[in-house]
Structure formats: structure tokens, C-alpha cells
Amino acid sequence: MRKELVRTVVFAAILSIGSLAPSLAQSTAGGLVVPPNYNTFQPPVAGGTYVDPAFGSTIQRVTNALRTPDDSDGGNLTWIENEYSAMSAFNSDNSRFILLHQSYFGLYNGASGVYMNDLPFEISASTEPRWSRKDNVTLYYHLGNQLKSYNVATGGFGVVHTFSEYSSISGNGEMDISLDGDHFVYVGDNEFVFVYQISTDTKFAVFDSGSRPFDSVYITPNNEVILSWYPTGSARYTGQELFDINMTFLRQVGHADGHKHLTVDTNGDEALIWTN
């Protein structure tokens, strides 16, 4: 799998990062691998490292929320974490990453893990900031009915496109930018699902979900769309359904929704990694 698709920030805000050369470990033993000190382990101070006793990976602790000032509401934070596991907190060369400080994002140095500065407060979890795959300083996010950009190096803002036909757009909390870095899937006014291409400023055909309840939308490596409905089953509008870029229904790919991610295998074929 591509590194930018699978590198993750642990919810406890303990992170394996590249200040130490990438440290990967695995076990070929069968059965369950249990940490020897699961109930007693205490992490090091922020910035400190330890070696995972089960796998031998070197882990660096990046944050300590309870001792980090809350720059939005005052006092100290109660938690810091990545927004959601389906998108990468890191930019494409791992030189920077973002973590959610409750209501806003902090920007971190990818080599050292050191906090750099806050992102503007209008960039929150609900705006779903996503790193560009074309450069290492641009974040895309949505606000109201606009797709916007923010340059973390210069502090510059831009409006990529205003979808004036809607009052708001959303990625429903789980979508990521496409593998080619040029497409998003969005939902207008919680009903209308479409793909947007950045480079050509093109909005493709729209699917009207009507009153049918659905959970998430994902864009595949080939810029197709998986729409996940709440109802389970094998009939239309249940489970996980695959659509082409023009939101034409292709087939069902799962009889129920679940936590998932999309990538390509070593042959370049699309793969859905799914658990339910």
C-alpha cells in the first residue's frame, strides 16, 4: 500500500515519525500478541521515545494534551488526535502533519514531531482539511458552500470553487482527496452527491439520494465513488454501493457499512479494506 494511505496517528497522540529513520516491525508468530505491560505502561514525556516491547518499533510521543494550552477557549486541552483514520494527517513528503486540538488544528513538524503553530480557527474538523498531493504546503477544506485552500507556508487563503447551488457541502466526515490529488467527492445540502475535479474546475453529474439515509462517501483510486447506506442487505440502496465518476450505479461492494479504506494493490488494482 502507498505510505500516505496507511500511515496513522494513534489516538493517544503517540506517533511513530521520521525523526528516527522509519522504524517498521512485524511479527510472524501466530496467535495474539499481547503487550506485557498493557495496564501499567506510562508513556514518556512529549518528545520522548520508547521501544514497543511486542514488535520492537520505536515510538515517539508527540503531544501531552493536558499540558497544552487551549488557544481557542482558554485553559488546557483535554485531547489531541487525528481527525479520522481514513485520511492522512501527513502531507505527501511527511514534512508536516496536522492534529486536531479539540476544535481547531495544530500544525507539526514531520521530522521532529514538534508543534509549529495553530491553523486558522475557521479550519475545524467539520471543514475536513485535506493535504494536496500536488504540493506539500496546501490544505483544501470546505466552508459553507465553498471549497477553499490554505497555504501553511505563507498563510494565504484561496477560494477554489463556490457551489452556489447549495447552501453547504460536506464530505460526511470520512472522505479524503483522491489518489491523483485532483478529485473530491462531496455532498451538497446533505442530499446531492457529486465528484469535483480541481484542475479543470469540473463538477460531474449529481446523484440525488432523496430521503434515503446514508453514512459516508469515499472516492476510489480510479475516481469512482462508494456510497454507504445505513440499511443492510443486498437490494439497491443498502450496504456499500459503487458509482462511476458521473454517479451512475455500477454494483454493490458490501452488504453492510463498516470502517474502511481504499488503496491499490501491487498490480495497480483498486482494493477496499473493510471491517464490520
- Running along the chain, 276 residues long, what does each successive block of 10 average in pLDDT? 35 43 62 87 93 90 96 97 90 97 97 96 96 97 98 98 98 95 98 98 98 96 98 97 98 95 94 90
What is the structure's pLDDT at 276?
A: 77
273 and 189 in a single domain? The answer is: yes
User: Which residues is 162 bridged to in the sheet?
Assistant: 146
- Within 10 angstroms of residue 62's Cβ, the number of other Cβ atoms is 24
What is the structure's pLDDT at 35?
A: 86
Q: How many domains is the chain built from?
A: 2
50 and 116 in a single domain? The answer is: yes
**Of 125, 144, 175, which residue constitutes the final position of a domain?**
125
Q: Which residue range forms the structural domain that includes residue 250?
A: 163-276
Is residue 16 situated within a structural domain? Answer: yes
Torsional sign, CA 189, 193, 197, 202: negative
Length of the chain: 276
Among candidates 144, 179, 176, which has minimal Cα distance to 163?
144
221 and 110 in a single domain? The answer is: no
Is residue 142 situated within a structural domain? Answer: no
Is residue 10 situated within a structural domain? Answer: yes
185 and 84 in a single domain? The answer is: no
2 and 121 in a single domain? The answer is: yes
User: Is the pTM of the predicted complex or chain greater than 0.85?
Assistant: yes
What is the structure's pLDDT at 34?
A: 85
Contacts of 200 (CB under 8 A, 6+ apart): none
107 and 183 in a single domain? The answer is: no
Is residue 145 situated within a structural domain? Answer: no
What is the structure's pLDDT at 30?
A: 79
Is residue 254 situated within a structural domain? Answer: yes
Is residue 64 situated within a structural domain? Answer: yes
Is residue 102 situated within a structural domain? Answer: yes
Is residue 8 situated within a structural domain? Answer: yes
